[in-house]
């Protein structure tokens, strides 16, 4: 549900006036997604545009931003609504069983295969499959997933013939897949297949105007769940919530509010148990001084040389000559590291 409200003025002593907050989402179009910030409204626009078709969608964003909720809304607004919606956490699947989990197996195809198993892709036939944490999928499995995207068919382990599937794929990750491609951990061809329609979910720290609405929602939810009658939070507590960096995003905020509801000594929450946390700017500085990998150093060096050569690879004063390697070798390195000339010219 979407709940709409203007933020209370800073000088107000009222504790988030819940009774004045009205829902503005007839039909529950974006069920469970709360906020009215321009960044979130942009996400709503993208969902509305892509949902009706069968286009592959790649949802990116920090952990805890609500990527699964976005996938839920896309499926709910699609023509496949009412059909299977299968969710897979790629990071949670055992490496030795991931192929069987995704594509299924025939009875007796390996030790322990006592019966036929239908994989997640077959279960999602005519519907949607949501591949969460796609950046954690092993390279060998990525090859098989690429075949599914290209051929619209899967092969069970031990199967004698491919099985056609009619599915829509929505993937999500908190990783930078372009960086993963450059470092050889994610296939470039698969990235292009998944990234047909990208949706970037904003971090909570970038949409702080939605925090009062989220706080209101979680207080109401956990008040009902625990049987307590919490009416809101104090100005002081709200200011602390707005000033905090939220590295764990909405998931962290929910946990904090649940704990605060349980610990509240009155009808108004006055103390919010927030951990000591570095500011986003300081975190970025720490990231900047992190030691780079060999791949990152090589990629940065090649990009810098290409910039100085205006993207020219061959000939006198070309990048290949400066790097003292054959142009064909430079071309291979650029492909391996995910460097495109139009990015550096």
What's the CATH number where 16 sits?
1.10.8.60
Same domain? For 249 and 117 the reply is no
Instruction: For residue 249, tell me if it sits in a domain.
Output: yes
Residue 283 maps to a domain: no
- Shared domain check, 265 and 240: yes
CA distance 170 to 297: 33
179 and 222 in a single domain? The answer is no
Cβ atoms of 48 and 38 closer than 8 Å: no
pTM of the model: 0.73
Same domain for 212 and 145, yes or no, is: no
Q: For the chain, 345 residues long, give each residue's pLDDT as a single digit of tens.
A: 333 333 333 333 334 444 443 433 433 457 789 999 999 999 999 999 999 999 999 999 999 999 999 999 999 999 999 999 999 999 888 877 888 889 988 887 777 777 888 889 999 999 999 999 999 999 989 998 998 999 999 888 888 888 999 999 999 999 999 999 998 999 999 999 999 999 999 999 999 999 999 999 999 999 999 999 899 999 999 999 999 999 999 999 999 999 999 999 999 999 898 876 544 554 554 444 455 666 677 888 888 888 888 888 888 878 888 888 888 888 888 887 778 765 455
Do 209 and 141 share a structural domain? no
Does the residue 64 lie in any domain?
A: yes
Give DSSP secondary structure letters for 248-284.
THHHHHHHHHHHHHHH-SSSEE----PPP---HHHHH
Domains held by the chain: number: 3
Question: Domain for residue 264, yes or no?
Answer: yes
Given 182, 200, 218, the domain boundary residue is: 200
Domain extent, residue 94, equals: 38-200
DSSP 183: T
Same domain, 184 and 211: no
Cβ neighbors of 125 (< 8 A, separation 6 or more) are 84, 165, 166, 167
**What backbone phi and psi angles, to 5 degrees, belong to 318?**
-80, 170
Torsion of CA 51, 52, 57, 63, to 10 degrees: 10
| Of the residues 224, 254, 269, the one at which a domain ends | 269
Q: Which of 48, 54, 6 has the alpha carbon at shortest distance from 27? A: 48
Helices (H) and strands (E) in the chain, counts: 15, 11
Read off the CATH number of the domain in which 317 is found. 1.10.10
Is 281 inside a domain boundary?
no
Question: Quick check: 107 and 114 in contact, CB under 8 A?
Answer: yes
Do 246 and 211 have their domain in common?
A: yes
Cα 175 from Cα 186, distance rounded (Å): 11
Tell me: do 179 and 212 sit in the same domain: no
């Amino acid at each position: 549900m979407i709940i709409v409200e203007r933020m209370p003025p800073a000088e107000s002593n009222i504790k988030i006036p819940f009774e004045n907050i009205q829902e503005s989402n007839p039909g529950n179009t974006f069920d469970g997604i709360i906020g009215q910030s321009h960044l979130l409204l942009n996400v709503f626009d993208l969902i509305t545009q892509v949902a009706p078709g069968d286009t592959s969608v790649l949802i990116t964003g920090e952990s805890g931003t609500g990527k699964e909720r976005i996938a839920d809304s896309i499926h709910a607004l699609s023509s496949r609504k009412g059909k299977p919606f299968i969710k897979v956490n790629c990071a949670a699947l055992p490496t030795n069983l991931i192929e069987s989990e995704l594509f299924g197996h025939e009875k007796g195809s390996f030790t322990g295969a006592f019966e036929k198993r239908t994989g997640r892709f077959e279960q999602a036939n005519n519907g949607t499959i949501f591949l969460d944490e796609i950046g954690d999928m092993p390279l060998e499995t990525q090859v098989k997933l690429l075949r599914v995207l290209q051929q619209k068919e899967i092969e069970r382990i031990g199967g004698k013939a491919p099985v056609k599937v009619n599915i829509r794929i929505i993937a999500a990750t908190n990783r930078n897949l372009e960086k993963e491609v450059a470092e050889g951990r994610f296939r470039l061809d698969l990235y292009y297949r998944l990234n047909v329609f990208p949706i970037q979910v904003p971090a909570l720290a970038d949409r702080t105007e939605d925090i009062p609405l989220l706080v209101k929602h979680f207080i109401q939810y956990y008040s009902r769940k625990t049987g307590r009658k919490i009416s809101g939070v104090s100005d002081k507590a709200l200011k602390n919530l707005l000033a905090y960096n939220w590295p764990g995003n909405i998931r962290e905020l929910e946990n904090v509010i649940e704990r605060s509801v349980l610990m509240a000594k009155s009808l108004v929450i006055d103390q919010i148990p927030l951990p000591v946390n570095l500011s986003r700017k300081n975190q970025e500085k720490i990231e900047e001084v992190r030691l780079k990998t060999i791949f990152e150093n090589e990629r940065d060096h090649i990009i810098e040389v290409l910039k100085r050569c205006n993207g020219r690879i061959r000939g006198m004063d070309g990048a290949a000559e400066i790097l003292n390697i054959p142009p064909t070798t430079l071309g291979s390195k650029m492909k391996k590291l995910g460097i495109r000339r139009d990015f550096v010219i």
